[in-house]
Structure 1
Amino acid sequence: MGGSALDVGRAAYRENRWNDAVAELELADRDAVTTPLDLENLATAAFLVGRAADGLDWLARAHEAFLADGDDVAAIRCAAWLGMMLSDLGDHARSGGWFARAERLVDASDEPDADHGFLRVPHGLQALYSGDAEGAERIFREAELRARRAGDADIAALAGLGIGQSRIMLGDLGAGMRLLDEVMVAVTTGELSPEASGIAYCALLQSCRLAFDLRRAQEWTRALDRWCAARPDLIVFTGQCHAHRAALFLAHGAWAEAEAAADEAMQRSARGDHDGIFASAYLRGEVHRLRGEDAAAEASYEAAARTGFEPQPGLALLRLAQGDSATARRMILAAADRLDPSERRVLLPAVVEIELVAGEVAGARGAADELVAFSRSESMPLVDALAESAESAVLLAEGDAEGALAASRRAWVRWRELEVPFEAARSRVLAARCIRASGDEASAAMELDAARAIFEELGAAPGFAVAWPPVTAPDGLSPREVEVLRLVAAGHSNREIAAALYLSEKTIERHLSNIFGKLGLTSRSAATAYAFRHGLAD
């Protein structure tokens, strides 16, 4: 009976039927017929189906069994994986203990490169995360050399990922992404274990985000979808897989699909793929923010923050939409200051937007120039579109409506080619502002109507659909305050404005108090007159 379970379990493991593998190999283990390799495979299958605690126990037993058989290399491998898994779970004390045990065994071993370079990988990651990309690359290259010498494809791939990520952090995006693509060749040809393959997919897609490489992200997300679909029992990595899909749906304007994918990512993450929790919660927050559902967005960002990562730039942009530009600015600048250059770039478009609303044109110019320089050094469609959009908004704030109009037109073309409708519509709003500055109200209205149609089709927040307010709103008004002022000028009550903007009446009262204070007004009729004088009323 035990032998039968062992044979079935081994076959299930080879065929990626992880739940069957766990059930049968666990049964065989009870009958004491498993080998150390069977225990290691049982641990791997348990990790893949979300049973991390059981996986850790079985991997520790596999380590001891390999030691008893005199297979030091396999024992070191198990100890190193235990260190990696525990570190990923946040259990740094036990992680350090297993790494120390692995290093002691390496020192005691007569075999050169007994760890196959595995123990260099966490040191490389530590250097990378601390911002020492050059040091990290040296460590990863040493690990790769040892792994290739030992013929260990998994460790060579992990080291290759680290080299590619180091090159990206150093600003060499082209070389970094090519190195990651090379690792993915090993994944697609089936040379790597499931754990290494899943790590490679997720690292590549994270790097695509840092490189603003939307098209590469689309291609590899489709590949990850196929890889996960071929392993229906898989839990680990699938939360991240659905989160990547949600991000692409969000960019391409399929917000209902993005929300559904984020929900699926959250469910998968709760079942064992804890690395997907932040992304799933954050992306739900983004969908709610863009729809104007402030309370739901707030709750989602809070859930994301509980993972230990900052939900930026989404939370800062939510504060901006709520009329609190000071807090938004404080948040986004603090977050940008804490990040290395490769991560900081992701925040630059939000920095430009928030700085302009706060009236800090010089700060917006600095962030826009940084984006433009990035675009010139690594020309990619998404980077170019972001740079053109930022440049257009800043030029308009600086008084160069003609230059801003040309930049907004170029941005619109790029966003349309990338099939990112929300940003394309924002570019048309920028164009309308530029045209309005020349006095051509009719042409400006046509641009705004085109943008409004897209916002309404997407289900964007009413403030976008009505007509996105000028970035440089007069007299220090925030975008949300301009939205409220427009609706006041249209004759709506506080209750009606609250319903239109999905806010509470108390929040509307606070916005009105801010508006009256900034403009030195005391009545709704005076505010209405102001709105008409400044072209803020439809």
Structure 2
Amino acid sequence: MSDTGAVLSRARGAFRSREWSVALDQFTQAGAEAPLGAEDQRALAASQWWLGLADDALQTLSDTFGAYRSAGADHAAAETALLAALLHATRGEVTIGAAWVRRAERLLGDADATAAHVRLAYLHTSLGIGPDSEPWSARSVERLKELADRVADAGAVALSSVATGMRELREGDVVSGFSHLDDAMLAVVAGDLEPEWSGDVLCTTIHACHELADFERMAAWTRATERWSWDHGGDAVYAGVCRVHQLELRSAVGDDWREAELSLETTCATLEKADPWVAGEGLYQLGELRRMRGDVDGARIAYKLARATGIEPVPGAALLQLAEGEADDAWTTLTGALSGRDRLARVRLLRAGVEISLARDDASHAEAFLKELEEAASAFDTEGIHAWADHARGMVLLRHGQHDEALAGLQRALRRLRRLQLRWEQAHVLAWVASAHDSVGDGAAAQRARTESIEITDALGVAPVQLAPRRTTPSIGPLTARESEVPASAARGASNRLIAGELHISEKTVSRHLANIYLKLGVGSRTAAAAWWRDQDGARTSATGAHS
């Protein structure tokens, strides 16, 4: 039998040095020989959590809570209950987290305010527990601030800053909101909070940056928290969290997508139990990479996995349906996801809403989404949202035939995206620029834009951007609605290049449609196909006139 005291000494030393694997091994060995005290159980739980052993950590925290209660250490028990609540909520188990919150409430009672009371109020505020039933409500944020001011603890002030910042972001005060979040993040990297609470602050802040397309701030804090996570052990769970955020950024700028895809698969599998919410965000980004590479089946699998973690994979899943010609399904997916979302959470979906509406020839909804997006750009005032709004305006104006105004909006979007270094986004806008030039018959300018778009996608190793066709022409005879649009354009004398621009497809796709059309109609040329369409259209028009 080993010397239990020596084993515990090594375990505690390893824990202080953040050698989580050694600490876990030594605490486990000591616990097999004699029951661990509450403090050692708490350290064991932390080691398990950092190593991603979420189920083990939560069981150990439950044991720790019981040990503190048996010893009459109610305040320590309450602190343990709050930590269990946080970790359950992180896993998406909000009901269980709320039950632990109520345990902490009973133990803390009406005692003088402490840092534990601030953590309790933070959970009420961030989870929407209590009379307001709304995360980051004005009333709960104000109560949290009052408590933090009374306690005057750096960690408590940081939690209050997060809540104030998130409330202000939702009210449209981006400058002040991010200023408060930045203050909280300084406390994180300075070590003013316990690591588990620090992790919640960093994830909340970086997610807000991502939602509002503030990629510069997101990159800065991702780098800073990466260093913070390594200080807590390279195999720590939050090293994986930071890795997901880093990969989200790399995906946005188009940096080695193949390696990013492989890393996301591995990292998300590791995080699935410890932090399923972040894992879900990573799985959504994995789906986005696959969608942009043209891997339809792979994208669907990643979106399905993201959905299983509680993350709704939009707008990507809707855009995938649109690319597959399922505009109505895309509309259902997108509008279902928009329902019930607050103003901030809707922003990232609005540009896709414009594109899907236009593909369905639904101008009224396209204009409504555009109006909301432009109002959001004015309110939140980040370069990324302004780029989305400019792009959306260009799409709407193009479909209204206002080509010069459309090009101006698209070029503004392109300049913003170049400053942000978002390469695939640039290729997407360039495809619309090419379409705008095609619509006015400027084939040379269209070809330049299309070539630049293809050069970007080639460099990224992904498929060229294909714009969804507009649903305007009904099916005629043996032709589908999409096929019918091709001879309709050919009958007006449009070349393959101009047809591609009008229908937002590649020239290769036009040629493929023509080949199918010749086969279905039993003709051998575009002239014959155009003549057939004119005959059919004329007969249809005559029939309509006869019945009017």
Query: Could you tell me the TM-score, scaled by structure 2's length?
Result: 0.83
Moved more, 85-94 or 35-44: 85-94
Change (3 A) 1:39 1:176: same
Match of 2:285 among 270, 283, 286: 283
- Percent identity of equivalent pairs: 28
- Within a 5 Å distance, the mapping from 1:94-133 to structure 2 comes to 94-107=96-109, 110-112=111-113, 115-127=116-128
The unaligned stretches of length 5 or more in structure 2 are 475-480, 487-502, 534-548
Match of 2:79 among 74, 77, 87: 77
8 Å contact 2:4–2:30 — kept in the other structure?
Answer: yes
Corresponding residue number in structure 1 for 2:181:
180
8 Å contact 1:17–1:233 — kept in the other structure?
Answer: no
Corresponding residue number in structure 1 for 2:317:
315
- Within a 5 Å distance, the mapping from 1:27-426 to structure 2 comes to 27-32=29-34, 34-91=36-93, 94-107=96-109, 110-112=111-113, 115-127=116-128, 136-254=137-255, 255-270=257-272, 272-426=274-428
8 Å contact 1:148–1:156 — kept in the other structure?
Answer: yes
Change (3 A) 1:191 1:126: closer
Change (3 A) 1:425 1:483: closer
Counterpart amino acid of 1:475? T
Corresponding residue number in structure 2 for 1:503:
none
Q: CA deviation at 1:378?
A: 2.9
Please state whether the residue corresponding to 1:237 is helix, strand or coil: helix
Change (3 A) 1:527 1:177: farther
Find the aligned partners of 2:176 and 2:30 in 1 and give their Cα distance.
47
Q: CA deviation at 1:328?
A: 0.6
Query: Could you tell me the TM-score, scaled by structure 1's length?
Result: 0.84
Find the aligned partners of 1:528 and 1:54 in 2 and give their Cα distance.
72
8 Å contact 1:323–1:478 — kept in the other structure?
Answer: no
Find the aligned partners of 1:247 and 1:13 in 2 and give their Cα distance.
31
Q: CA deviation at 1:33?
A: 7.7
Please state whether the residue corresponding to 2:49 is helix, strand or coil: helix
Asked if residue 490 in structure 1 is aligned to residue 490 in structure 2, the reply is no
Find the aligned partners of 1:531 and 1:222 in 2 and give their Cα distance.
59
Counterpart amino acid of 2:417? W
Q: CA deviation at 1:346?
A: 1.0
Find the aligned partners of 2:16 and 2:309 in 1 and give their Cα distance.
34
Counterpart amino acid of 1:253? G
Counterpart amino acid of 1:417? R
The unaligned stretches of length 5 or more in structure 1 are 495-511
Counterpart amino acid of 2:26? E
Moved more, 317-326 or 274-283: 274-283
Match of 1:475 among 462, 473, 476: 473
Find the aligned partners of 1:2 and 1:450 in 2 and give their Cα distance.
68
Find the aligned partners of 1:533 and 1:288 in 2 and give their Cα distance.
40
Please state whether the residue corresponding to 1:118 is helix, strand or coil: helix
8 Å contact 2:254–2:423 — kept in the other structure?
Answer: yes
Structure possessing the higher radius of gyration over alpha carbons: 2
- Cα RMSD of the aligned pairs, angstroms, is 3.3
Corresponding residue number in structure 1 for 2:539:
none
Asked if residue 446 in structure 1 is aligned to residue 451 in structure 2, the reply is no
Moved more, 65-74 or 442-451: 65-74
Find the aligned partners of 1:185 and 1:334 in 2 and give their Cα distance.
38
Change (3 A) 1:531 1:262: farther
Counterpart amino acid of 1:184? M
8 Å contact 2:222–2:242 — kept in the other structure?
Answer: yes
Q: CA deviation at 1:206?
A: 0.7
Find the aligned partners of 2:220 and 2:115 in 1 and give their Cα distance.
37
Find the aligned partners of 1:533 and 1:396 in 2 and give their Cα distance.
29
Corresponding residue number in structure 1 for 2:498:
none
Find the aligned partners of 2:129 and 2:292 in 1 and give their Cα distance.
33
Moved more, 418-427 or 110-119: 110-119
Q: CA deviation at 1:434?
A: 2.2
Instruction: For residues 308-335 of structure 1, give each alpha carbon's deviation from its aligned partner in whole angstroms, at most 9, with x where no partner exists.
Output: 3321111111110110111111211221
Please state whether the residue corresponding to 2:310 is helix, strand or coil: coil
